[in-house]
Amino acid sequence: MANDGFNGSTVVFASATLGSLRGLSVSNNASEIDVTAASDTNATAVTGIPKIEITVDFVGSPPAIGAGSTGALTITWFDGTTVGTLTSAICLGCDIKGQMNGEITSSAKFTRGIV
């Protein structure tokens, strides 16, 4: 049987619930910084500062948010955990799309803002 664990999850940004969720991704990646010296025989690297990015796909137009909007972002998964929560988030942008005989959907991308 499939795990419908995503069903019932919610996302709230700046006190506004972001529609009926269709998809959600949370990534925390760091850049590779090349620290290879002239005397090295192999490339050497270290990790840069990690950057968290959260993308939310939902039905309907976004509430009054857009690129540059700031606020707390809370992801509450079906089991009550809040993985991906940012106390200070910034919206990097929103996309809205629709199709003939279909629903209007939106996608919003967030990252950690200034604390």
**CATH fold group of domain 10-112:** Elongation Factor Tu (Ef-tu); domain 3 (2.40.30)
- The number of beta carbons lying within 10 Å of the beta carbon of residue 71 is 19
What is this structure's pTM? 0.80
Tokens representing residue 97 in the block: 């799309």
Segments of the chain scoring below 70 in pLDDT: 1-5, 84, 115
Q: What is the pLDDT of residues 60-78, one digit of tens each?
A: 888 888 899 999 999 888 8
Q: What residues does each domain of the chain span?
A: 10-112
5-17 pLDDT, tens digit each: 688 888 999 999 8
Q: What is the DSSP string of the chain?
A: ----TTTT-EEEETTEE-SEEEEEEEEEE--EEE---TT-SS--EEE---EEEEEEEEES--SS--TT-EEEEEEE-TTS--TT-EEEEEEEEEEEE--TTS--EEEEEEEE---
